[in-house]
């Protein structure tokens, strides 16, 4: 087992993560499929086995739980002695649907624009608690597992980190010009400053000051979390020049996080992360892939 390239995919018993595991396994990678609920992970691995893929193992993982991260790192160290690919896929949406039918009838996430904030009242709601959990998972969880795996990634000849992001992480959705400049200025940005920005956002979310301070008004925590993931990706790429660290927007896919709305399947959505996981050693680092195409981090206007 030690000779084979090995990948860990977070939050991967369903959706794009599951498809990423399947496509990586088809490429001959030894995959560790993970889920918060161990029996769900086991069932998904069984499904892959039935389809003829025997190079997938499962392990429990909650990226919000440091002891769960430590157990997974130990498991990978024991079985493979190193890690070649980490796909940070796990995320949550930070919203609840009050009227899912209306949300779907209105076009799903295509309507999640700040100018429609009044139309989403009674349809989709973001609370402080959901926002806080969203940032804990999407940003701090991603950061926690990445830091924990860096030593094992450093033992690989071709280390890759793939962070699932979203077009919702584009700074286009932010209305505070100074903050946008700060998050774009990777030369001067620090992890400590990202933390301060997140704490500032959460304070404003609690105090109902999103508009006043120029934050995104719809799916706000999710947008802030993915903007933070983008910035973190660029900082990590600079900090670890021997690791290819990139982020990928999978496209708008029909999965649970989108309430099963979207333009693409999870199978199509997984193509970008799989490509970024299998980049050759002279591939790019610190870039944003929109599906499989390199795209600027901030563009004038994106649709989901």
Ligand X SMILES: NC(=O)c1ccc[n+]([C@@H]2O[C@H](COP(=O)([O-])OP(=O)(O)OC[C@H]3O[C@@H](n4cnc5c(N)ncnc54)[C@H](OP(=O)(O)O)[C@@H]3O)[C@@H](O)[C@H]2O)c1
Catalytic residue numbers, as ranges = 222
Quickly tell me which residue has 């390239």 as its tokens.
5
Residues 259-278, mask of contacts with ligand X (x by CB under 6 A) = ---x---x------------
Minimum Å distance from CB 161 to ligand X? 14
Residues 150 and 252 sit within 8 Å (Cβ to Cβ): no
- Site for ligand X contains 13 (CB under 6 A): yes
Nearer to ligand X, 242 or 260 (CB): 260
Beta carbons within 10 angstroms of residue 214's beta carbon = 16
Phi-psi region of 196 (alpha: psi -120 to 50; beta: other; left: phi over 0): alpha
Which segment (13-21, 153-161, 205-213, 287-295) binds ligand X by CB under 6 A?
A: 13-21
Which residue from 214, 17, 255 is spatially nearest to 114, judged by alpha carbons? 214
- Site for ligand X contains 209 (CB under 6 A): no
Taking the C-alpha atoms of residue 111 and residue 115, their distance in angstroms, rounded to an integer, is 9
**Interface residue with ligand X, options 7, 10, 285, 289 (CB under 6 A):** 10
Largest distance between two CA atoms of the chain = 56
Site residues (CB under 6 A) for ligand X, limited to 81-100 = 89-92
Residues 37 and 90 sit within 8 Å (Cβ to Cβ): no
Which residue from 10, 11, 160, 9 is spatially nearest to 84, judged by alpha carbons? 160
Site residues (CB under 6 A) for ligand X, limited to 120-139 = 137
Beta carbons within 10 angstroms of residue 254's beta carbon = 17
- Site for ligand X contains 233 (CB under 6 A): no
- Site for ligand X contains 64 (CB under 6 A): yes
- Site for ligand X contains 256 (CB under 6 A): yes
Nearer to ligand X, 86 or 164 (CB): 164
- Please give the residue ranges that form the binding site for ligand X (CB under 6 A): 10-11, 13-17, 36-37, 61-64, 89-92, 137, 141, 164, 166, 249-250, 252-253, 255-258, 262, 266
């Amino acid at each position: 087992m030690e000779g084979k390239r090995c990948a860990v995919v977070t939050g991967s018993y369903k959706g794009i993560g599951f498809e990423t595991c399947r496509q990586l396994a088809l490429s001959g990678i030894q995959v560790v499929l993970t889920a918060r609920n161990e029996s769900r992970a086991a069932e998904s691995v069984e499904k892959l086995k039935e389809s003829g893929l025997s190079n997938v193992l499962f392990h429990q993982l909650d990226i919000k739980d440091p002891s769960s991260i430590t157990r997974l790192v130990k498991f990978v160290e024991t079985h493979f002695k190193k890690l070649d690919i980490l796909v940070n896929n796990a995320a949550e949406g930070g919203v609840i649907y009050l009227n899912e039918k209306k949300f779907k009838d209105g076009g799903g996430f295509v309507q999640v624009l700040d100018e429609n904030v009044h139309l989403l009242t009674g349809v989709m709601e973001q609370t402080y608690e959901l926002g806080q959990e969203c940032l804990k998972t999407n940003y701090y969880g991603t950061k926690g597992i990445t830091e924990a795996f860096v030593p094992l990634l450093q033992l690989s000849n071709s280390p890759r980190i793939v962070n699932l992001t979203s077009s919702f992480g584009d700074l286009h959705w932010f209305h505070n010009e100074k903050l946008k400049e700060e998050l774009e200025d990777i030369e001067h940005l620090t992890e400590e400053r990202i933390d301060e920005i997140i704490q500032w956002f959460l304070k404003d979310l609690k105090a109902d000051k999103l508009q006043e301070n120029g934050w995104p008004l719809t799916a706000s925590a999710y947008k802030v979390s993915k903007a933070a993931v983008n910035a973190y990706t660029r900082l990590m790429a600079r900090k670890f020049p021997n690791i290819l660290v990139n982020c990928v927007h999978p496209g708008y896919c029909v999965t649970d996080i989108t309430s099963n709305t979207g333009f693409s399947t999870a199978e199509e959505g997984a193509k970008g992360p799989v490509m970024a996981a299998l980049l050759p050693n002279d591939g790019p680092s610190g870039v944003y892939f929109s599906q499989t195409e390199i795209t600027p981090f901030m563009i004038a206007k994106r649709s989901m």
